[in-house]
Structure 1
Amino acid sequence: MTFNTDLHRSTLTLPGRLARGGGAALEMSVLDAGPEYGRGTRSQQPTMVFIHGFGGRAAYWEYQLEQFQADYRVIALDLRGHGYTDAPTEADGARYDVPELVADIAAALDLLDLPPKFILVCHSFGGALSSYFLKQFPERVSALIMIASAARFRLRWAGRTLLRMPPPIFGMVRKLMPYFGITAARIYPPPHVVYLQNKNALLPWDGSDYLRAVKVPALVILGHRDILFDEAAYKEVASLIPGAEEVIVPVSAHQVMVERPDAVNRAIERFLQMQSDPAEQAERRIRQKAERRAARKQLESERPWLKFYDARTPYRIKLPTVALPRLLEATARRFGKTTALSYRGGKIDWRELDRQANRFAHGLIEMRVKPGERILLALPNIPSLVIAYFGILKAGAVAVLSDAATPAEILLTRIADAAAVMLVTTTNRYDELRDVLQSDRRAAGLRRVIFASMIDHMGWREKLKFAALHHVQEGHWLPWFRQDKQHRKQERRYLKFKQVLGRGAIYPVELVQDVNDIAVVVYTYGATGTPLPVALSHRNLATNALQLRHWLPESRPGDERFLAQQPLSSAYGLTGVLHLGVYLGATLILLPGAELEPLLKTVKKMRPTYFPTTPRMVRELAHTPGVRRYGLASIRVCAVSGSPLAQEIREEFEKLTRGRLVEAYGLTEASPAVLAMPLSARRNPGVVGVPLPDTEVKVVDLDSGETLPADTLGELWVRGPQLFAGYDQGYANATGAGPSATALNLIAKKISKERLHEGWFATGDVASIDEDGFVSIIDRKSNMLVRGGQRVFPRQIEEVLFEHPAVAVAHVKWSPDEEGVKHLRAEILLHHNMKLSVDDLLKYASKRLHADALPDSIAIEQKNTTVLF
C-alpha cells in the first residue's frame, strides 16, 4: 500500500449549509487525486466519486483511490459529522437525514469542478445517499457502483441498542474505548452524530422506490460473509435496480473493499470496460496522455528546472489542509506498531507516541493553557521533546523552540519576547534556573516550569548505566519539594514531566485547528546578527515536509530509520527529521549530542538509512580513521545543508556509505528547505540544486533590485508555500494583552518589512542561476568585500584553498583592524601527515584568484603548531 490519503486531502467551505446565523458555512474534508493535467482542465477528466457509509470516512477508499487515480480523477468525501468534516449539533439545525446529507454532497461536487457526468461509487448507507442523489440529479451520473449496500438498514439488536443510547452515555462509552485497546474510537463520528443519523436517516430509510428508479448501468458488490444487516435487504438491491450486475466476493464481510481490495478493483474495472467502446477507451487514453504532455511542456518552459526532477516527483503538490497533530494521528493509525522513537535502548511506537502526546495536551489544558499561548521548549533530542512538542500543538498552543544549551540569560530574554507562559527544560538545569526564574522580572509571566529527565524512556540497561554514572553527578537528580515555608509556594510552579503526563487521558483533545494558525516559533542562527524569532504555521511546516517527502521517492514508508542528530529545536531538524519522519512513519534514532563517537556507535548498532547532517559532520566522518568498520554503508541518503560542500569531500563520503549525498539549501524563514539536488542529476561543483515543488527563485541586482538574467551574480529571492509570513512579534503584544514591544520585537518588525516583498523573501545570499534553473550559492551578501573594484567573497576563496590536496579545512573571514580597514584572514587545517608552507599556498592560490582576492593573512594549523603570515 503506497497511497497516503493525507497527501491528497483538502477542505471545502460549503456556504449556507448550517441553520445557525442565517446560514453558516460547513467545512467538508475531501480527498482529491488523479493524473496531472494542465490548469483549467479538471472538468474534462473522467471522474469517480466515492461515498462512504454510516460511521465511515473517505480514507476507507484508499485502495480504490490508489488503483484508479492513474486514469480517473478520484474524489472521496468525508460526510457531515464524519472524518475531518464539521459535525454540527442539533442546536445548529443539523438533522443528519438523507436530504441534508445529499445536499452537502451536491454542494461539494459543485465546488469541485466536475465533468457533466461522473461515476458514483458508494458503500453501505452511502448506497441510500447515492440512490437519493440519482433521483435528484439523474443527468449527472453515468454509472453506479454499490458495495455492501442494502434496501433497508436494520441492524442486529445489539447494534440497535448501542445506537439508540442518548449522546451523553454513548460519549462516555466512546471515551472508555481507548482504555480497552479500541483506538479507532477517535475516528468514529461524535455521539450526537451517531444518534441523530440513526434516528433520522438509518431507521426510517426504505430505498425500494429509489432503487427501482435507477436508470444508469449499475454494479452491486457484496461480501459473502456480510451479516451486518438482514440478508434479504442485501439480496434485494440487485433485483430492484433494472439490469444491475451482481458480484459476490468470497472470504469477505461488510468492509469488502478493504478486506478484498484487489477482487473489488477487478470487478469495478471489468464493469467500467463494458460501459464504453474499446476504441473510445483507447482514444480517450491517447487524448489524456497528449494533454498531460502538453501541460508538462508548458510548465517546463516556465520553470526549466522541472525537467531534472525524478520522474516520481510531482511538479506541483496539493497543499496540506490539516494541522500537524492530524498528520501524527494518521501515522499512528497507519504505522501504529512501527517504532517511532528509539532512544538509548528504549522504544516508543507511533501509536504510543500519539497517546503520550494526548496525555501531555490534556495535562496542559488542565493547567489552563489556552489556544495560542506560548510554551518554550529547551530540550535536547530526547523523547520528551517530541511528546511535549506534539502535545503543545494538540492543545492549540504554540511551541517556542530553543536549543537545549541556550544560556540562562538568553532563555529569559526569549521567555519575555515570546510571552511564554510555560517552560519545559531538562532536570540538570534546575539549580541554574531556580533562583533567576523566581527573581528576574522577565520570567514573571511563567506560570509553570516543567523538568524532563534525560533518563526517561531509556532502555533498562542504559537507565542503570546512566543512574550510576551521570544522574546525580551531572545534576539530573531533583531535590524535590522543599518542606520549609520559604520555598514551598515558589516550588509549586515546578513539575516533573511525568506529572504532566499523569494528568492527561490518552484520547485526543477535541479541538478544531486552522492550518494557517502559528504552530512554532523557531530562532534563526544569527550568523549575521541577532537571532530572530520566525513564526511558522502548520501549513508552512507540513508543506515543506511534504515537498521533501516527494523529493525522496525511493523512501520506504514504515521502513526507514532516521539518524536524528540534528537538533529538533532547529528548523532543519524539525522539518527534515521530525515532520518528514511523521509523513514516512520512519523510526527516529534520537541522539541528544553532537559527539562523533556516540554517533558512530549508534550507526553500527542501529543501521540508519537516512542521515540529515551538516558539511562539518560530513568532513569529520570522511577524515575519521577506520570509519568504515562502523557500517556507514547502511545510509542510503545523506542530506547535507548549511554551506556548499567541496567535491572531494562529497566523493569520499559517498564512497564510504555507497549511498547518495544530497545537498540542499534552506532558511529558517522557509521552514527551511528551498533548494535540493535531484538524486539522479549530474552535479557540478558549487551547484546546490533546484527549487523544490511549488517553489520559485530569482536573482536580483544587489543595488537596484531588478531581476537579473541567467548566470549573473545577485541576491537570491525565494517564494513558495513553505515561506513564513513574517517574524514573530510575541503573543501578548500581537493580541494587545501584554506590555509594549521588546527591542527584539521591534527589530523583527523592521526586518520583516525590509526582506518581504509581495510574497518574495530576500535571503541575503549572493547566488547565480544558470539557464536550466540550477542555483549556485556564493556567499552571504554581508560577507562581501569590494577591493580594487572587484567583489570578493570569502566562500569563493575557501573553495580555491580547499582544492589544494593538503588542505582538510579552509575558513576565510574578514575582520577590521584598529583603523577600521577590513582584512581577509584565512585559517587552514591540513590533512594528517601533510605539510604545506604559507608561501606555497599563496603561490597556489594566486594562480586561481584575482590579486585583490588573496588573503591578507594565513594561519596554518598542523600537529598543534601554527605558522603565521
Structure 2
Amino acid sequence: MVDSNKVWFKSYDQNVRQHIDYPDLTMPQFLDRSAKNLPERDAVIFAGVKLSYPTLAAMVNKIAAALADLGIKKGDRVAIMSPNCPQYIVGFMATLKLGAIVVQVNPMYVERELEHVLNDSEAETIIAYDAFYPRIKNVQNVTQLKNVILFALGQPAGTADGSVLKAEELLMKYPPEFTQVPVNMDEDVAVFQYTGGTTGVSKGAMLIHRNITANALQVAEWFEQLEYGNEKVLCVLPFFHSYGMTTAMNLSIIYAATMIVTPRFEIKQCLETIKAYKPTLFPGVPTMYIAINNYPNVQEYGINTIKGCISGSAPLPVEVAETFERITEGLLVEGYGLSETSPVTHCNPMLGKRKAGSIGIPLPDTDCKIVDLETGERELPPGEVGELCIKGPQVMKGYWNMPEETAKTLRNGWIYTGDIAKMDEEGYFYIVDRKKDMIIAGGYNIYPRDIEEVLFEHPKVLEAVVAGVPDPYRGETVKAFVVLKEGQQATEEEIIEFCKANLAKYKVPRLVEFRSELPKTTVGKILRRILREEEVKKQQVTKS
C-alpha cells in the first residue's frame, strides 16, 4: 500500500480514495454482473444497432464455447485484429472467459508487422474483421495460425476461403451459457499488449487479469461523479490500444455504461454520433479535441452532454484544454500512462487544482518517484529532472519472452518508464520528454514539449511537433513541423520570431516546415520518429 503521507494525496478530489478494494472478478465476470444488475441497459450502440448487456454476455458465452470446442484452453493465445465494433468486445471477453490470452493486433499492421506479432506471441487462433483476411492469409503459412475466425461488418468482404470459420455461424451454433475458467488474478496473463513499435522492435507487455481490472477501477475512482448504470462512453479510442481498452471498453463494462462505439475518428461522423446519442464521457487524445475545437458551429452538435474527458497518449496543450472546456462546459484533464501500466498512472484532478503542462498526480494505489538518469538508483527531490518510475497494481508482469528487457524495465517492483520527468512540491508530475526525444544542440539539452507549448499558443497554428535533426555544427538543431488552421497563412520567419519572443535563444527552432498533416499512430500520437528519419534521408540524398 502507498504511504498515506505522500504529498500528492493532499490534492485528491474530496471523494477520491487513496486505496481501493479490488474484487477478484475478471472482466467477463464484471460483464455478467452488469447483465444481471441491469438487464434492460444498452451495453453497445454501433451503427444504429443497440445490444443489451444480457445479449452481449450471451454472445460472449457462445464464442467462448466455440473457442473451447476448437481446443483453445487456459494460457493459449488468441489474436484479435479488428476496428472498434461489438465483435471486438465479444472476442476479447470470450478469450478471457476461457482463461486464454488476448493478443492485441493493430488492424493497420502490414504483413511484416503482423507476422512478427503472431510469431512472437505463438498465437494459433485469430479473430478478425473479414476485410483483413488477405493480409492474414499471406502470413498464415509462416506463422503457427491454425484457426481463423472472421466476422463481417455489413456485407461480407467475400475474400475468405473454405478453411476459415465464420463468427456469425458460431453464434448460431453454440449455447448462451459458459462458466468462467478459474484464473489467478495476480499471476495469470490476460492480454499481450504490444508496445514499442514506434521506437523499435515491438514487445509484448504481459498484462495480468488484476492489471486490467484494477486500472479500470482506478480510472473510475478518479471520475468521482460516475453513476453506475447511468453513463454513456464515446468509444472512439481503438480498443486494441491499452488506453481504449481500459478507459472506454473495460471502464464501461465495470460501471454498466453504454458504449457508443465508432470504428475510427472522423470529425463530422463523431459530432453526429455525439448529437444522436449524447455521451457523458469522452476519453481521447489531443488531436481529437483540437479537431472539435476548430470545427465550424460545433455547439450545434449538443457537445455539452460531455461532462468528463481524460486526454492521454500525447501532451495536451493548455490552449486546447481551455478552448474545449469553454465550448463543451465539460471537464478535460490531462493524464498519463504506458502500455506497460495498463495504461493509466497519473491524471490531473477532475474538480481540484489542475496545473498547466502537468500530467497530474498518481492514481489511487500508485506510487511514483524520480530517479537520477545515470544510475537509476538515487531518488531525486522535488524540482529535479530524472527518470519517472512507477509502482502499482496496474504495472505489467513483464515482457513476453524478453527476460533482459524485463530486467532492465522492472526493478524491485518499479517500472522504469524511459520518460524524463520532474515532480513539484505538491506532488504534481511533469513529463519533460522521452529519453530518446531529447534534443542535444550545441551542448544544451532541449525538450521538444517546451517548444511545442509555445507553438500551440500561436493563433494560426493547428498542430505542431518539434524534432531534432542532424546539424554539422550543433550536432542537432531544432526543426518545427507545423500544420496551420484552415484559411491561415504564415511564413517561417513569422513562426521563428514568435518563438524568439517566448523561448530562450537556444530552444528557438532554426527550421520550420509547413505541412497539410502530420504522421500519426492509429491512436493519434504524432510520430516524431518518422519526421526525424525523413530529415536524415533528405540530408543523405543531398550529400550524395
> What secondary structure does 1:805 align onto?
coil
For the 8 Å contact 1:618–1:653, the answer to whether it is kept is yes
Alpha-carbon shift at residue 607 of structure 1 (Å): 0.8
Matched residue, 2:382:
710
1:542 equivalent to 2:213? Answer yes
Alpha-carbon shift at residue 849 of structure 1 (Å): 2.3
> What secondary structure does 2:118 align onto?
helix
Q: 2:294 aligns with which of 617, 623, 627?
A: 623
Matched residue, 2:183:
513
For the 8 Å contact 1:359–1:506, the answer to whether it is kept is yes
2:281 partner amino acid: Y
> What secondary structure does 1:514 align onto?
coil
Matched residue, 1:478:
158
1:502 partner amino acid: M
Q: 2:422 aligns with which of 764, 768, 781?
A: 768
Alpha-carbon shift at residue 660 of structure 1 (Å): 0.4
> What secondary structure does 2:227 align onto?
coil
C-alpha separation in 2, matches of 1:605 and 1:413: 40
C-alpha separation in 2, matches of 1:432 and 1:804: 43
C-alpha separation in 2, matches of 1:477 and 1:551: 42
C-alpha separation in 2, matches of 1:767 and 1:553: 27
1:859 partner amino acid: E
Alpha-carbon shift at residue 432 of structure 1 (Å): 4.1
> What secondary structure does 2:216 align onto?
helix
C-alpha separation in 2, matches of 1:567 and 1:480: 25
Rate the CA distance shift 1:609–1:789 in 2: closer, same or farther, 3 A. same
Alpha-carbon displacement from aligned partner over 1:386-437 (angstroms, at most 9, x marks no partner): 1111111111211101122222221122111111010111111234433542
Q: 2:321 aligns with which of 647, 650, 657?
A: 650
Q: 1:311 aligns with which of 6, 11, 14?
A: 14
1:850 partner amino acid: A
The within-5 A match list for 1:457-472 is 471=155
> What secondary structure does 2:283 align onto?
strand
Q: 2:171 aligns with which of 477, 501, 509?
A: 501
Q: Which runs of 5+ in 2 are unaligned?
A: 518-544
Rate the CA distance shift 1:556–1:786 in 2: closer, same or farther, 3 A. same
Matched residue, 2:146:
447
Matched residue, 2:88:
385
C-alpha separation in 2, matches of 1:451 and 1:616: 32
The within-5 A match list for 1:323-362 is 323-362=26-65
For the 8 Å contact 1:778–1:795, the answer to whether it is kept is yes
Rate the CA distance shift 1:643–1:832 in 2: closer, same or farther, 3 A. same
C-alpha separation in 2, matches of 1:609 and 1:671: 23
Alpha-carbon displacement from aligned partner over 1:220-254 (angstroms, at most 9, x marks no partner): xxxxxxxxxxxxxxxxxxxxxxxxxxxxxxxxxxx
Matched residue, 2:448:
794
For the 8 Å contact 1:377–1:423, the answer to whether it is kept is yes
C-alpha separation in 1, matches of 2:254 and 2:396: 21
C-alpha separation in 2, matches of 1:402 and 1:411: 7
Q: 2:23 aligns with which of 308, 315, 320?
A: 320
Deviates more, 1:311-320 or 1:707-716: 311-320
C-alpha separation in 1, matches of 2:160 and 2:431: 52
Rate the CA distance shift 1:499–1:784 in 2: closer, same or farther, 3 A. same
The within-5 A match list for 1:635-646 is 635-646=306-317
For the 8 Å contact 1:716–1:762, the answer to whether it is kept is yes
Rate the CA distance shift 1:342–1:698 in 2: closer, same or farther, 3 A. same
> What secondary structure does 2:359 align onto?
strand
Rate the CA distance shift 1:435–1:303 in 2: closer, same or farther, 3 A. closer
1:814 equivalent to 2:471? Answer no
2:158 partner amino acid: L
Alpha-carbon shift at residue 820 of structure 1 (Å): 11
1:703 partner amino acid: E
The within-5 A match list for 1:624-703 is 624-703=295-374
For the 8 Å contact 1:378–1:406, the answer to whether it is kept is no
C-alpha separation in 2, matches of 1:358 and 1:860: 52
Alpha-carbon displacement from aligned partner over 1:661-720 (angstroms, at most 9, x marks no partner): 021100000000000111122222211110000001111111232111101111111111
Rate the CA distance shift 1:370–1:788 in 2: closer, same or farther, 3 A. same
1:335 partner amino acid: L
> What secondary structure does 1:782 align onto?
coil
C-alpha separation in 2, matches of 1:790 and 1:844: 21
C-alpha separation in 2, matches of 1:781 and 1:720: 22
For the 8 Å contact 1:320–1:539, the answer to whether it is kept is no
1:563 equivalent to 2:234? Answer yes
1:540 partner amino acid: N
For the 8 Å contact 1:317–1:694, the answer to whether it is kept is yes
For the 8 Å contact 2:98–2:180, the answer to whether it is kept is no
Matched residue, 1:728:
400
C-alpha separation in 2, matches of 1:560 and 1:800: 36
Alpha-carbon shift at residue 327 of structure 1 (Å): 1.5
> What secondary structure does 1:425 align onto?
strand
For the 8 Å contact 2:125–2:147, the answer to whether it is kept is yes
Rate the CA distance shift 1:332–1:801 in 2: closer, same or farther, 3 A. same
Alpha-carbon shift at residue 510 of structure 1 (Å): 5.5
Alpha-carbon displacement from aligned partner over 1:535-565 (angstroms, at most 9, x marks no partner): 1011001110111111111111111111100
TM-score normalized with structure 1 length: 0.57
Matched residue, 1:414:
117
Matched residue, 1:552:
223
1:827 equivalent to 2:499? Answer no
TM-score normalized with structure 2 length: 0.90
Rate the CA distance shift 1:564–1:862 in 2: closer, same or farther, 3 A. closer
1:366 equivalent to 2:36? Answer no
For the 8 Å contact 2:325–2:331, the answer to whether it is kept is yes
Rate the CA distance shift 1:546–1:862 in 2: closer, same or farther, 3 A. closer
C-alpha separation in 2, matches of 1:435 and 1:767: 43
Alpha-carbon shift at residue 347 of structure 1 (Å): 1.1
1:441 partner amino acid: V
For the 8 Å contact 1:713–1:767, the answer to whether it is kept is yes
2:235 partner amino acid: A
Moved segments of 4+, more than 6 Å: none
1:398 equivalent to 2:101? Answer yes
1:452 partner amino acid: F
Rate the CA distance shift 1:688–1:480 in 2: closer, same or farther, 3 A. closer
For the 8 Å contact 2:441–2:474, the answer to whether it is kept is no
> What secondary structure does 1:540 align onto?
helix
C-alpha separation in 2, matches of 1:862 and 1:508: 51
Matched residue, 1:82:
none
> What secondary structure does 2:55 align onto?
helix
C-alpha separation in 1, matches of 2:266 and 2:174: 36
Structure with higher Rg: it is 1
> What secondary structure does 2:218 align onto?
helix
C-alpha separation in 1, matches of 2:206 and 2:146: 22
Alpha-carbon shift at residue 656 of structure 1 (Å): 1.3
Alpha-carbon shift at residue 636 of structure 1 (Å): 0.7
For the 8 Å contact 1:603–1:630, the answer to whether it is kept is yes
Rate the CA distance shift 1:503–1:819 in 2: closer, same or farther, 3 A. farther
The within-5 A match list for 1:223-242 is none
C-alpha separation in 2, matches of 1:479 and 1:772: 58
Deviates more, 1:412-421 or 1:800-809: 800-809
Q: 2:413 aligns with which of 742, 759, 771?
A: 759
C-alpha separation in 2, matches of 1:587 and 1:373: 30
C-alpha separation in 1, matches of 2:52 and 2:42: 4
Q: How much is the aligned-residue C-alpha RMSD, in angstroms?
A: 2.1
C-alpha separation in 2, matches of 1:299 and 1:397: 35
Q: 2:133 aligns with which of 416, 430, 433?
A: 430
C-alpha separation in 2, matches of 1:850 and 1:612: 34
Matched residue, 2:194:
523
